[in-house]
Amino acid sequence: MAKEIERKFLVEPGFAATLATREGGTAVSQGYLPVSGTSTVRARIYGDRGFLTLKGATRGISRSEFEYEIPVADAQEIIDTLCGGQVIEKTRHIVTVGQHKWEIDIFSGRNRGLVVAEIELESEAEEFERPDWVTAEVTGDPRYYNANLVDTPYCDW
């Protein structure tokens, strides 16, 4: 089974502002399909590539994840016709710190102002270098799950 093990942190505003002015970020648009229970299904356009992703319930900092590349036109069609407006827009920057790549998402639209850094790990116990530009850890806070940000965006907090 494919497994995602990830931790999330907020980003120091000064560092986020510096990133926002840099070139090299990748535009991300992801729509969420309606499902019941604790699973999520999303279509994503990441730059010029399309993906379909299925995720299970989060247990600790882990959950099952299955991701498949699909034609970008199909991903756009799914977002436009099947997601009912449940769409997140953001720009992703990749920053390497030590042996790990951090994905820093600068949200736009109704989530403007939110900047989250994620690190994927091989195990829940894996150690990593924590850069000085991350602040509070929000791994277990469901408000920061992208699937929840479509229903309760950052601007409504």
- Strand, helix or coil for residue 114: coil
What six digits make up the tokens of 112? 């403007």
State the Cα–Cα distance between residues 143 and 127, nearest whole angstrom.
25
Please tell me the predicted confidence (pLDDT) of residue 89: 97
- Count of domains for the chain: 1
Unique residue bearing structure tokens 């277990």: 140
Spans of the chain below 70 pLDDT: 1
* Positions marked active-site: 32
Residue 37, pLDDT score = 83
What phi, psi does 150 have (nearest 5°)? -75, -30
Structure-derived torsion over alpha carbons of residues 116, 107, 62, 7, reported in degrees to the nearest 10 = -10
What whole-number distance in Å separates Cα of residue 102 and Cα of residue 3?
18
Domain hosting residue 51, numbered range: 3-156
Q: CATH number of the domain at 131, please.
A: 2.40.320.10
83-118 pLDDT, tens per residue?
A: 999 999 999 999 999 999 999 999 999 999 999 999
